[in-house]
Amino acid sequence: MNYTFQFGVAFAQLPELLKGAIVTFELGLLTFWGASLIGLLGASLKTFGGPVLRGVANAYVIFFTNTPALIQIYFLYFGLPEFGIRWENFTCVLIGLTLNAGGYMTEIMRAGFLSVHKTEMEAAETLGMSLLQQIRFVIVPHIAKTIYPALANFFIVILVMGTSIGAVIGIDELTGTAINISTENYRWIEMFVVVAGIYVVVTFVASLSLALFGRWAFRVKAKVF
Amino acid sequence: MHHLEVRNLASAYGPLKVLEDVSLTLAKGEVMALIGPSGSGKSTVLRVLMGLTRPVSGTVLIDGEAIDYGKPASIRAARDRMAIVFQQYNLFQNMDVMRNVTIAPVKIKGRVRAEVEKEAARLLEKVGLADKHRAYPEQLSGGQQQRVAIARALALKPEILLLDEVTSALDPELVNEVLDTVRALAAEGMTMLIVSHEMAFVREVASKVVMMDKGQVIEEGPPKQIFDAPRTERAREFVSKILRH
Amino acid sequence: MERIIQQIPRFFAPGHVSLLLDAASTTLALTIIGCVSGFLLAFLIVLLRQTPGLWALPLRLLGIAYVEIFRRIPFLVVTYLVLFFIQAFASNASLFTIAVVAICIYATAYTAEIIRGGFESVARQQVEAATVMNFSRWHTLTSIIIPQSWPVILPPAVAFAVGFIKDTALVSQVGVFELTFRGKELNNEGFSGILVFGTIALIYFAISYPLSRLGAWLEIRLASSRSQKPRERLRAA
């Protein structure tokens, strides 16, 4: 009970921590876009593919959403070198997280696909739209509007839950930077309280901007709280 | 002394005035009907009486004793003397009929279960549902649910029963079974305040009719006067509208 | 590849198998104890958040702040915070306890939102009917709100716990002897990373997949038991 807090020490490291926060943001953004592409592909296969392709997409989703992202990353980091494939830490985390998030993203996108009703397509056709126009003016806006809240929410999940995993194999994102500094100055509690605060602020700003953007672009009410 | 007296009641929803200067008196054993177009504030009167909507001003007295709607204890005392039946019956979906009727007397009033159940069985028989003790609300028709709701209200032994458009949510063929139950209660001398759209029924069962419009009482009197010789212009207009139907 | 095949008999020696089974049960125990206690605490948070009256404003804010803050901090950071706080102020807690506390704190924040959603799904009229019969807040909660909302609350709460089995992998970082930790240990002993983490992944899968199917089944069952209730048609007055 005789611990004295020294938050000054932690605040002095703010510039380093903010550098870490930028890495967190980069990693989150890259993962999100990669996972979106996988999700788009996976959802297309599950919706329009034949039995074989559907099976492949299903197996991918089931496997990657039922095993820990950390184990998937360890597999790439500790396992692949045995086949002579040696990636940088950042690459391992990025690919591992992207594959993991891609599984969840497939399900989100598929829900969007399923929400397009046949009648809307027929209505678009009777208006004399070509297939490309139908996709451009009917399908994409509809899907975007339907899945936007889920996407916005998932982006925050990746930003928070996902990227901090990088710390485990030594990526200097926000959590990793905090670990590095703490091992030198031993102010673990103060450092992690400050880091927790940064996460709260960063994700809050991200949620708020995503909600405002969604309202402006798709007129959806994404919840901030 | 009046059994129930409402003096200059006013209520508002934000800036919107829902009730304005409403005054009513009800004697023991009397059946009073509140009628008027939708949105005229009839149901709000009942909600205010039961403490679900806070009045802005005005006084409600039972046997000359004022209810203080700012004090939870006073509201609880009022709810011990009045019971309400809702338009949507509002039976507890997670309880069977018997439990719906007995839960408040047993759990809230702390009465002996066996005794309450015997009474409940009698009440359910009275509303024609003696064979439905173990049914859940979802298994009953709207008319049956509404009769259970009436039995549930009676199990509380209220001095005054408030009925809020109890037949409005029912399919036409189910209206009469509920009205019969209310008729029987009136014949027994139950003091009731009824909000209803069933004009023929109101005419038959009510001793006094109060017509409301835009949150105000526009005319009150015996049914004969209100329906056959309304004195105010607005009342005439409303009566001619409903009689055309 | 040859090296992996060579290692297989040694890797699946009885000692290792029982070690991994032990580790798997630790993973499962962490999840169950953490999530169940978190679920119970979440009820408290929701009750705090729904206490009416001006005097309870700080309580409501506390409830909101708790949920909003802990849903925005990575689980790994929460785990480290719990570790360092407990070590600084109550030094003799086991690592298992520390991990359970971290999971509990996290699960509380997430399931509180699930419970709140469930409570809000109960029709306002049901609560009004209880109010006019002088039900206390406690009686309304225990007799009406909880019995009516648990079919809405249970499926996502189970889904959260099942999903969290995988997230518990992160507590290997503070040295709890669960699956991921044992995997790293075996890998350090020289066993192939492919073999070790492939096996560990399969064990997680064997736990997570059946439970997630069970959760999906539960959701469908409870959903159908609810939708069977015919809603009385509302006639225009």
What confidence score (pLDDT) does residue C9 get? 86
**Residues in contact with B128: Cβ distance below 8 Å, sequence separation at least 6, in sequence order:** B147, B177, B181
Sheet with B16-26: list strands edge to edge.
B16-26, B4-13, B57-62, B65-66
HSE-up of C161 (CA within 13 Å, CB side)? 25
The tens place of each residue's pLDDT in chain A, 225 residues long, gives 567 778 877 788 888 899 999 999 999 999 999 999 999 999 999 988 889 999 999 999 999 999 999 999 999 999 998 888 889 999 999 999 999 999 999 999 998 888 877 777 777 778 878 778 877 787 788 888 888 989 999 999 998 877 889 998 888 889 999 888 888 888 888 899 999 999 999 999 999 999 999 888 877 765 555
Question: What predicted TM-score, i.e. pTM, was given to this entire model?
Answer: 0.86
Average pLDDT over residues C146-150: 94
- Give B79's contacts in chain C (Cβ within 8 Å): 132-134
Instruction: State whether residue B238 sits within 8 Å of chain C by CB.
Output: no
Question: CA separation (Å) from C173 to A126, A165, C176?
Answer: 60, 10, 8
What confidence score (pLDDT) does residue C225 get? 64
Average pLDDT over residues C77-87: 92
**Residues in contact with C141: Cβ distance below 8 Å, sequence separation at least 6, in sequence order:** C47
pLDDT in tens, B154-198: 999 999 999 999 998 888 888 999 999 999 999 999 999 999 988
The distance of A66 to chain C (nearest Cα, Å) reads 5
In whole angstroms, give the CA distance from residue C223 to residue C216.
11
Let me know the angle formed at the C-alpha of A154 by A153 and A158, rounded to the nearest 5 degrees.
125
* Residues paired with residue B59 on neighbouring β-strands, in sequence order: B7
Helical packing angle, A14-48 and A188-218, nearest 10°: 50
What confidence score (pLDDT) does residue C12 get? 87
- Give C137's contacts in chain B (Cβ within 8 Å): none
Confidence class for position C203, pLDDT limits 50, 70, 90: very high
Mean residue pLDDT of chain B comes to 92
pLDDT in tens, C4-44: 888 888 888 888 899 999 999 999 999 999 999 999 999 99
Q: Is the pLDDT of residue C226 over 80?
A: no
Query: Quick one: tokens of C131?
Result: 């109010």
Determine which helix (DSSP H) or strand (DSSP E) holds A162, and give its type and residue range: none
CB C186 within 8 A of CB C11: yes
Complex prediction ipTM: 0.90
Give the residue on C whose Cα is nearest the Cα of B142.
C232
Query: Quick one: tokens of B167?
Result: 């037949």
- Give B103's contacts in chain C (Cβ within 8 Å): 143
Amino acid letter at B64? Answer: G
Average pLDDT over residues C89-112: 92
Task: Pick C148's closest partner by Cβ from B50, B88, B94.
Answer: B94
Residue C133 sits at φ, ψ, to 5 deg, of: -95, 20
Confidence class for position B139, pLDDT limits 50, 70, 90: very high
E runs forming strands in chain A: none
Task: Dump the DSSP string for A200-212.
Answer: HHHHHHHHHHHHH
Amino acid letter at A73? Answer: I
Q: Is the pLDDT of residue C229 over 70?
A: no
In whole angstroms, give the CA distance from residue B178 to residue B86.
13
In whole angstroms, give the CA distance from residue B91 to residue B113.
20
CB B48 within 8 A of CB B11: yes
What confidence score (pLDDT) does residue B181 get? 92
Collapsing DSSP to helix, strand or coil, B17 comes out as strand
Task: Pick B93's closest partner by Cβ from C135, C136, C229.
Answer: C229
What confidence score (pLDDT) does residue B240 get? 85
Determine which helix (DSSP H) or strand (DSSP E) holds A66, and give its type and residue range: none
Average pLDDT over residues C139-145: 95
Task: Dump the DSSP string for C62-96.
Answer: HHHHHHHHHTSS-HHHHHHHHHHHHHHHSTT--HH
Mutation for C interface: B38, B88, B148, B175, most C CBs within 10 A = B88
Helices (H), B50-111: 72-81, 97-103
Q: Is the pLDDT of residue C231 over 50?
A: no
Confidence class for position C237, pLDDT limits 50, 70, 90: very low
Phi/psi class of residue A27: alpha, beta or left (left: φ > 0; alpha: ψ in -120 to 50)? Answer: alpha
Mean residue pLDDT of chain C comes to 89
CB A14 within 8 A of CB A174: no
Q: Is the pLDDT of residue C235 over 50?
A: no
Instruction: State whether residue C198 sits within 8 Å of chain A by CB.
Output: yes
pLDDT in tens, B83-132: 999 999 999 999 999 999 999 999 999 999 999 999 999 999 999 999 99
Chain centroid to CA B72:
21
Residue A3's CB is within 10 A of a number of other CB atoms, namely 11
Task: Pick C74's closest partner by Cβ from A75, A80, A175.
Answer: A175
Q: Is the pLDDT of residue B19 over 90?
A: yes
What confidence score (pLDDT) does residue A138 get? 78
Instruction: State whether residue B93 sits within 8 Å of chain C by CB.
Output: yes
**CB pair distance less than 8 Å for A168 and C208:** no
Mutation for C interface: B75, B87, B91, B92, most C CBs within 10 A = B92
What confidence score (pLDDT) does residue B56 get? 93
- Give B165's contacts in chain C (Cβ within 8 Å): 237
- Give C145's contacts in chain B (Cβ within 8 Å): none
Amino acid letter at C7? Answer: Q
What confidence score (pLDDT) does residue B173 get? 86
- Give B51's contacts in chain C (Cβ within 8 Å): 131-132
In whole angstroms, give the CA distance from residue A138 to residue A128.
13
Average pLDDT over residues C162-189: 92
